[in-house]
Structure 1
Amino acid sequence: MSTAGRWERAALLLDSVTADDPADRARIVRTHAEVALDRDWFAGTDTAAVRIQAAEREFPDGDWDTGFLRLRHDYARLLHGAGTLRIGPAGKDPEALAALRDRARDLHGEAPDEVRRGWAAMYRGLIADNHFADRTDAAGHFARALRAGQDGADDLLAREALRHLGDLDRDAGNLERATERWRRATALGERAGAVPGTLSQQLLLAVLARDAGDEAAATALATELARWAEAIGAGRLRAGALAFLRGADPTAPGPTAPEGDAAAPEPTAEDATASGRAAPAGMAPAPGAPV
């Protein structure tokens, strides 16, 4: 249910579950943390920290899955900072970044199965790319993540890897391969029922439409994405779609669109017209970009 963007309902269902076994109760607490983390990423909320702390108390001797939730949370916190998406190491705490990279390496080595090892590789790639601006190192980790998730092993992992490999392809000027990978990523997300993840992928397809000069298709995709995102409460996704309609490139480094959607107006005809002009200096990447 969390994968479908129904975070509040998922949390309510978890609250309604009773468990006598301490191990089962601990898993429920950990699942609560995962739901909160997903919600924070797509909606721009701040609910996961307390939930992750509660999960860590349930596993005082350590637990791979809880450690991975902590890694994901710290990755996002360092990435977004005070509402700004910060690509590369500039302006960040080098010790915190080094510790994050070391923890991802350790989780990769300690993973209890191949799929979890693939997710750890995925985050090693994300950290290398978005915190250290090392795209060569990132590409190798993304490729390992794809191998771990392909052939039905974990569609969401394969989707995430394809999403970021496609971003590297586009930056290298290989739009044909970027298109193929991003379309495959979209299909995998749809098959897995990942509503907010598929919406974020639709924004990348809108980017490709704009790259190809089809502004009408780009505008149509982003407009529908904004409406869907508002309907499920994914404020960060909605803000990214609206920024795209105003001309932002959601894959370029720089400040993000505002988190949440309280001040974001509905897409208008003016937005559709404006989306054909170049992005203002310093604008984007919008939330939902491959970060």
Structure 2
Amino acid sequence: MTNTASTITTVVSLDQLLAAVRELRISGRWTRAADLLDAADASDARDRARLAVAAAEVALERDWFGGTSLAGARLDAAERACGEGKEARPQGDWELDFLRLRHGYLGLVRVDGRFRPGPDGKDPAALTALRTSAENLRGRAPDAVRRGWAEMYLGLVADNLLAERDLAPAHYEAALRAGESGDDLLSREALRHLGDHDHDSGDHPRALERWRRATELGARAGTVPGTLSQQLLLAVLARDTGDEAGAAALAREVARWAGAIGAVTTEAQANAFLAGADPTAPPSPGAAGR
């Protein structure tokens, strides 16, 4: 008996395809998401640009959680696709420029595969340019949610790259307000980092409240790797309150699940936590941070 491959032709709108890719991306199914985008064929320059930008976003998410280095090439391809004509640029240049911002942030906060926040050893001009880019994106954001994402990154740059920790919460609060208008992932991200400030100031009940809510929102939005990384923060609080057995049990499950889906950075953080590291500890001068 011979098996022959068959081709089924069906009509799926680009919006439907991109919605499906988004769900695959945030759930950690990066290979399937990229394969779907690469298999799509579009005759319209605007549609090709949207596909290329979506592929760059998938690659960036994989780089963040999976430790790969795929986004640079995908961003260059998206730049070319968006440059086929001014009218082909999705949302002006905002979406692509925001991905460039996120990629630049990742490149500065992760060095040699490890998270190394703080300005030590980093080009001051690159740090300033990253903040300027975020400010520019905030100013020309086409809606409140995207303005909120720019605020989020202004907070992250201040917090994790410029050692201006006191300036970050106001940006996170602005991001949270924007997220509450309809973006659970943005709300989750803001709550995650606001809870980090609560934790560092010793307000563990407030941190627990925010981190539990962030975990819930992440699960509702479908972000599997993001929910695992959030669970690790709950393990931190369990350890802080003396429940070492509970903290270790939770961290072991995070490591196991993260490894199963290829989220190697989260797996490594969970294993480091089991070995005694604190993923929320602020960096000491010249030392590796969280």
* Common fold: TM-score over 0.5: yes
How far apart in 1 are the matches of 2:282 and 2:194?
Answer: 17
Would you say the 8 A contact 1:226–1:242 is kept in 2? yes
Return 5+ residue gaps in structure 1 as ranges: 256-281, 286-291
Letter in 1 for 2:263: A
Match of 1:251 in 2: 280
Partner residue in 2 for 1:156: 185
Partner Cα distance (2:112, 2:65) in 1:
16
TM-score, normalised via structure 1 length: 0.86
Structure number with bigger Rg: 2
1:64-87 Cα offsets, whole Å, 9 max, x none, are 000000000000001112223222
Secondary structure at 2:260 match in 1? helix
Q: Structure 2: which 5+ runs fail to align?
A: 1-23, 87-91
Spell out the pairing of 1:55-74 with structure 2 (5 A cutoff): 55-60=78-83, 61=86, 63-74=93-104
Return the offset for 1:89.
1.2
* Residue 204 of structure 2 is aligned to residue 175 of structure 1: yes
- TM-score (norm: length of structure 2): 0.86
SS in 1 for 2:115: coil
2-structure distance, mates of 1:133, 1:150 = 28
What amino acid maps onto 2:270 in structure 1? A
- Please list every run of at least 4 consecutive aligned residues from structure 1 whose deviation after the TM superposition is greater than 4 angstroms: none
For the 8 Å contact 1:44–1:235, the answer to whether it is kept is yes
8 Å Cα contact 2:232-2:270 kept in structure 1: yes
Seq. identity, %: 62
State how many pairs are aligned.
258
Partner of 2:15: none
RMSD of aligned Cα (Å) = 1.3
Residue 118 of structure 2 corresponds to which residue in structure 1?
Answer: 88
Q: Does 1:144 align with 2:192?
A: no
Cα offset, 1:59, TM superposition: 2.0
1:50 aligns with 2:73: yes
Aligned mates of 1:18, 1:87 — CA distance in 2: 40
State how 1:174-193 maps to structure 2 within 5 Å. Answer: 174-193=203-222
Q: Deviations over 1:156-175 (max 9, x none)?
A: 00000000000001111110
Q: Does residue 9 of the first structure (1) align with residue 38 of the second (2)?
A: no
Q: Which stretch shows the higher mean deviation, 11-20 or 118-127?
A: 11-20
Aligned to 1:21: 44
Q: 1:242 aligned to 2:271?
A: yes
Offset of 1:284 from its aligned partner?
A: 5.4
1:228-265 alpha-carbon deviations (Å, 9 max, x no partner): 1111111111111100000000011449xxxxxxxxxx
Question: Pairwise mapping of residues 24-35 of structure 1 onto structure 2 (< 5 A)?
Answer: 24-35=47-58
- Whichever residue aligns with residue 244 of structure 1, its letter is F
Q: Which residue of 2 aligns with 1:216?
A: 245
Q: Aligned equivalents of 1:215 and 1:96: distance in 2?
A: 41
- Superposed CA offset, 1:130-171 (max 9, x none): 0111122111100000000015x1000000000000000111
1:226 has 2:262 as partner: no
